[in-house]
Amino acid sequence: MEIIKNMYELNIEIKKKLFPLKTQNKQGENLIFKNLNFTIKKGQFVSFFGPSGCGKTTLLNIISGLDKDFDGQISRYDKASDISYMFQTPRLFPWLTAIENIKYPIKENKNSEKIANYLLKKIGLEKYKNQYPNRLSGGMQRRVAMARAFAPNPNILLLDEPFISIDKKITNSLRKLLIQLWRKNKPIIIFVTHDLDEAIELADRIVFLSNLPSKILLDYKVNLARPRNQNSKNFISLKRLLSSSTRTIKAKKP
Amino acid sequence: MSNLLKNGLFRRLVSILLLLVIWGFVSKLVGDKVILPSPNDVLESIKYHISEDLFHHVYITLLRVFTAFFLAMIIGSAIGIVMGRKKKLDDYFDGWLILALNVPALVTIILCFIWFGLNEVAAVLAVAINKIPTVTVILREGTKAIDEKLVQVGKLYNKSRFEIIKNIIVPQLFPYFISAARSGLALIWKIVLVVELLGRSNGVGFKINEFFSMFDTTSILAYTLVFVLIIMSIEWFLVKPTEKRLTEWRL
């Protein structure tokens, strides 16, 4: 038996994860993870950084419990702790209005209306309360998706490159909003990205993943004060340090 | 006048009036009631039949239409959803489905009467069997188009199976239900008339057969017109508003 030292600590132990491959009628299997182990402390903001196709989304699907087809186990301090997930695409229900979408994960009680309204205000879409997602712009849809992800007040929140392919200006405001919402109740955040700037700007800790089969190259604790400015001296030198050290690690490991 | 023509409803009204005028004109040209009675003749005939037993027969036919309709919708949707979800079953039964789609309505009707006798059950069953395959095909396509990614959202937040079906699957299938219902209603009432003509002693189809034996074109048109109007009202006042309310989220 393992002794769990920290409250809400999340333990991830993936012995093996295969992914079925179908190419030109040939069936094969791709080894995605082998012996990937790590733990996350309560309230920690962790970024997983790695090249496209290194299994970042698969990792989140495993942690969320949506993908159960792997060898190993995910253990949480509190089995009943709420998990929430902001997907790469907004995945809003098109037949529900903005407010109804935000309310969806909240367990029905007197406060659900209040919580949803609070989040709607935070994302600045009060005017669009009763609009359907089809009538919202891409950036607005992401904001609603972010509000929905925070709505159940999760202990663990997973984010899968949520700001990919949107306007830089909007991305910046969304990142600020994310930090703001995270600070309120401090869930564990696991944020997956292939943008190093984004990882450094947001995370307490950055885990660098390699190409397939994916391994942890480097597990780095970020000690920059928030809010972080991508043009500041410290930021730029840290970025240089991280890129060069991961490059040398990659070169050493065949 | 040109202002009025901009109104969509008014244009529709004009078009119906135009049809009546053309009908009246042609019937005058023909000058034979057996071939084409005038709108006025038909109106008189409707009045006469209403005072007789028109609504009794219309009521019986509508009852058959709705029983067959709901039977076909429920059974057809169930089979369609299962076939859409289970690839193996779809492979096994796809051939059967194509076969069923291509059996002529007349054949199923006659076979049902032979197998089950000239009774109400056989009549309704024959109609339903004709409609089930089309409902199945539409709902199978709808089920295949369900966005699994949205279903995952429900699973993530620990929603029950029932909640997922009710709140995530059914809303996605709704446009398909509507489309099946709409084409179903139009097809079913036509088949019901044939069934009545072949093996029932009441209903609109039976009456039309009776008028046919007397070459009473006016009465045939009277019954047809009343029935078509009823089916159209169902579409306008029931199907369309429901559709609008439940699919307003689409652009």
Report the CATH number at residue A34: 3.40.50.300
To test the contact with chain B by mutation, choose from A63, A89, A95 the residue with the greatest count of B C-beta atoms within 10 A, namely A95
The pLDDT tens digits for B101-145 are 999 999 999 999 999 998 999 999 999 999 999 999 999 999 999
Q: Are residues A159 and A147 part of one domain? A: no
**Is position A52 within any domain?**
yes
**Is position A230 within any domain?**
yes
**Is position A210 within any domain?**
yes
Which residues from chain B sit within 8 angstroms of residue A87, using beta carbons?
Answer: 149, 153
Q: Are residues A198 and A138 part of one domain? A: no
In this prediction the ipTM stands at: 0.84
Q: Are residues A101 and A70 part of one domain? A: no
pLDDT value, residue A1:
41
**Is position A88 within any domain?**
no
Among the partner residues B149, B156, B249, nearest to A95 by beta-carbon distance: B249
Angstrom distance (rounded) from CA A92 to CA B249: 12
Domains of chain B by residue range:
1-31, 37-246
CA distance B156 to chain A (A): 7
pLDDT value, residue B138:
95
B171 vs A93: CB contact, 8 Å cut-off? yes
Angstrom distance (rounded) from CA B242 to CA A25: 46
Q: Are residues A159 and A234 part of one domain? A: yes
Q: Strand pairing of A45-49 and A188-193?
A: parallel
- Mean pLDDT, residues B174-189: 89
Q: What is the mean pLDDT of chain B?
A: 91
**Is position A86 within any domain?**
no
Among the partner residues B149, B157, B171, nearest to A152 by beta-carbon distance: B157
A83 vs B156: CB contact, 8 Å cut-off? yes
Q: Are residues A1 and A123 part of one domain? A: no
pLDDT value, residue B1:
60
Q: Strand pairing of A71-76 and A83-86?
A: unpaired
Q: Are residues A11 and A132 part of one domain? A: no
3-state secondary structure of B102: helix
CA B46 to chain centre: 23
Which residues from chain B sit within 8 angstroms of residue A104, using beta carbons?
Answer: 153, 157
The beta-carbon contacts of B116-124 under 8 Å, at least 24 apart in sequence, are B118/B199, B118/B200, B120/B64, B120/B200, B122/B199, B123/B64, B123/B192, B123/B195, B123/B196, B123/B199, B123/B200, B124/B64, B124/B67, B124/B68, B124/B71
Which residue from A minimizes the CA distance to B155?
A66
**Is position A98 within any domain?**
yes
| pLDDT, tens digit only, all 254 positions of chain A | 444 444 557 888 888 888 877 766 667 778 888 888 888 888 889 999 888 777 888 888 888 888 888 888 888 776 666 889 999 889 999 999 999 999 998 887 778 888 888 889 988 888 998 999 999 888 889 989 999 999 888 888 999 988 887 778 888 888 888 898 898 888 889 999 888 888 888 888 888 887 778 778 778 787 877 777 788 888 788 878 877 777 777 776 55
Q: Are residues A76 and A2 part of one domain? A: yes
Among residues B125, B126, B71, B134, the alpha carbon closest in space to that of B100 is found at B134
Q: Are residues A228 and A138 part of one domain? A: no
Domain of residue A8 covers 1-81+155-170+177-254
Tell me: pLDDT of B2 over 90.
no
Q: Are residues A240 and A225 part of one domain? A: yes
**Is position A183 within any domain?**
yes
Count of CB pairs separated by less than 8 Å, A with B: 37
Give the H/E segment covering residue A22.
Answer: strand A10-23
Q: Are residues A226 and A244 part of one domain? A: yes
CATH superfamily of B37-246: MetI-like (1.10.3720.10)
Q: Are residues A250 and A165 part of one domain? A: yes
Count the domains in chain A.
Answer: 2
Check residue A71 and give left, alpha or beta (phi > 0: left; psi -120 to 50: alpha).
Answer: beta
**C-alpha pair distances (Å), A130 with each of A91, A96, A117, A164:** 17, 9, 11, 26
The pLDDT tens digits for A31-73 are 888 888 888 888 889 999 888 777 888 888 888 888 888 888 8
CA distance A133 to chain B (A): 8
Q: Are residues A59 and A164 part of one domain? A: yes
**Is position A246 within any domain?**
yes
Q: Residue A156 forms beta bridges with which residues?
A: A83, A188
